[in-house]
Chains A and B, each alone.
Chain A
Amino acid sequence: MADLLPEHPDFLWRNPEPKSSYDAVIVGGGGHGLATAYFLAKNHGMTNIAVLEKGWLAGGNMARNTTIIRSNYLWDESAAIYEHALKLWEILPEELEYDFLFSQRGVMNLAHTLGDVRESMRRVGANKLNGVDAEWLDPQQVKELCPILNINDNIRYPVMGATYQPRAGIAKHDHVAWAFARKCDELGVDIIQNCEVTGFLKDGNKVVGVKTNRGTINTEKVGLCAAGHSSVLAEMAGFRLPIQSHPLQALVSELHEPVHPTVVMSNHVHVYVSQAHKGELVMGAGVDSYNGYGQRGSFHVIEHQMAAAVELFPIFARAHVLRTWGGIVDTTLDASPIVGITPVENMFVNCGWGTGGFKGTPAAGLTFAHTIATGTPHHLNKPFALERFETGALIDEHGAAAVAH
């Protein structure tokens, strides 16, 4: 902790004018869009492509998440894709030649009720069978790993134990985006900021171009990586997504000496906390209940998560909130993402990552690039196809998502 951060970078990518035509266009210049473009260029040799971003690069959820990376999901399908992502996180700093300070300090998911304990132990078992590092900690072991946690039994929801994934951790989100953007640019990808998609050109049921506020761009393939705005784009293209966009809030304290050595998440009392490299306590909670595109939520949600945080970490009572903010998360009914083909030919969608998209960034990019390049699912994203809502093969990860929604 308190490691020296890399110097603020010089400009790492060009700001080209959009060309009139590309082999593929990615809509959304956040982590997922940039990772997708990177793997399209690197793995599939598609370098005549563009990433269109309506605002500035990585200014949406990529700038607003709490940077937690882990893969301790319950079901085989999720464990496979999130564990693949975690393995990529481990090698990406070298591959991208950019150290984004992936700090594998471990993630604890607390259990506060007997139900929590049973579900957590089941998840640890499932994780081990899937090759995901996981262990069950009793309250004493919890205290040893994170001494500032209150494990007394005189609080409303005492800590009854925790699952622990040692390889999990946090990374510098902005640096991740810059790392991908720089490599994309090197490989010839056009990253076009301030370019908002306003519609799609279709030939019958096939998408052939993108209308933007900077002109029309012809393209053979379109990949949507727009998180909270996926429904808006899908509607322009003429299909529906089973997505509801909600505000999700987070906050940071002022800088403190290193006090918090790991990442602690509590599904039951709704808070998750880590200490950033610089020293801020970073916290998040559940989504606001209502649909919202406003990138802000209601104060009582913040109040609730702070109450939970102070009960779990009495030492935080004298810290101060420095900033709060909100992002727009694209939730699905089964708390699992949607990656794959759409009813519109040559249009592909990567969305529904909801409250947990950051950790999935590399695997989303890798598998989505495969799907765009080949027109077929990658074996890791195949279970996450849109059609699961018709076949009923849902992947219910509300427990492991650890963020109430």
Chain B
Amino acid sequence: MLLISCPNCGSRDETEFHYGGQAHVAYPENPNELNDREWAEFLFYRDNTKGAFAERWLHSTGCRQWFNMLRDTVTYEIQAVYPMGAPRPAAAPPAAESGTASTAPDSTTTGTARPSIAATSTSTASRSTTAPEGATK
């Protein structure tokens, strides 16, 4: 179970929270101008990042406030908690991301995980892989 630090209430068990999926997905600025492809992107396509992922959580049985969290989707390590509307913290996470990926064969259950994160991000370095804002229109 995740131990989540609610910005208002402090550390609480995951069971008090509700998951809200990818953070920083803005409603389209000009909805009337979107074509079907762009609507599909907004409605159905979300980043599915392997590694540091910015996501929304709701403290549903506590303060009932939404907040954002940066969490590693492989190790499940929570790297940052920050308010809705604030930009995704940039500096700290990358170190933690590559750190956990290459040094710790973290998830022993995975067996095959190896440096797949590192490999993934290098092999696609030419493209901006880890920006979850990629979906934002």
Contact = CB atoms under 8 A, between A and B. Distances in A.
Interface of A: 54-56, 59, 196, 198-199, 211, 213, 229, 231-232, 235-236, 238, 240-245, 289-296, 298-300, 325-326, 333, 389-392
Contact of A326 (B14, B41, B109, B124): B109
18 contacts: A54-B116, A196-B114, A198-B123, A211-B123, A232-B120, A242-B45, A243-B48, A244-B21, A244-B46, A289-B18, A290-B2, A296-B109, A298-B14, A300-B14, A300-B15, A333-B44, A389-B45, A390-B39
Contact residues of A: prevailing secondary structure: loop
B88 interface: no
Interface of B: 1-2, 13-15, 18-19, 21, 36-37, 39-41, 43-46, 48-50, 53, 55, 71, 73-76, 106-107, 109-112, 114, 116, 119-120, 123-124, 127, 129
A300 B1 contact: yes
Given A198-B120, A294-B109, A298-B2, 18 more contacts: A54-B112, A55-B112, A232-B48, A232-B116, A236-B120, A242-B44, A244-B21, A291-B73, A292-B74, A293-B73, A293-B74, A296-B107, A298-B1, A298-B14, A325-B109, A389-B40, A389-B43, A389-B45
Given A289-B19, A298-B1, A300-B14, A235 B109 contact: no
Given A196-B119, A300-B14, A295 B127 contact: no
A242 B46 CA distance: 6
A245 B110 CA distance: 15
Given A55-B111, A294-B75, A244 B48 contact: yes
Contacts of A243: 48
A286 to B, nearest CB: 12
Contacts of A242: 40, 44-46
The 10 A-B residue pairs with the shortest CB-CB distance in the complex, in nearest-first order? A55-B112, A231-B48, A199-B123, A289-B19, A242-B44, A298-B1, A390-B40, A389-B44, A389-B40, A390-B36
Contacts of A211: 123
Contacts of A235: 120, 124, 127, 129
Given A199-B123, A243-B48, A299-B1, A294 B110 contact: yes
B19 A290 contact: yes
Nearest to A292: B73
Nearest to B15: A300
A62 to B, nearest CB: 13
Contacts of B13: 300
B77 to A, nearest CB: 10
Nearest to A233: B120
A333 B44 CA distance: 7
Contacts of A199: 123-124
B119 to A, nearest CB: 5
Contacts of B15: 300
A295 B110 CA distance: 6
A180 to B, nearest CB: 20
B105 to A, nearest CB: 13
Given A290-B71, A294-B73, A241 B48 contact: yes
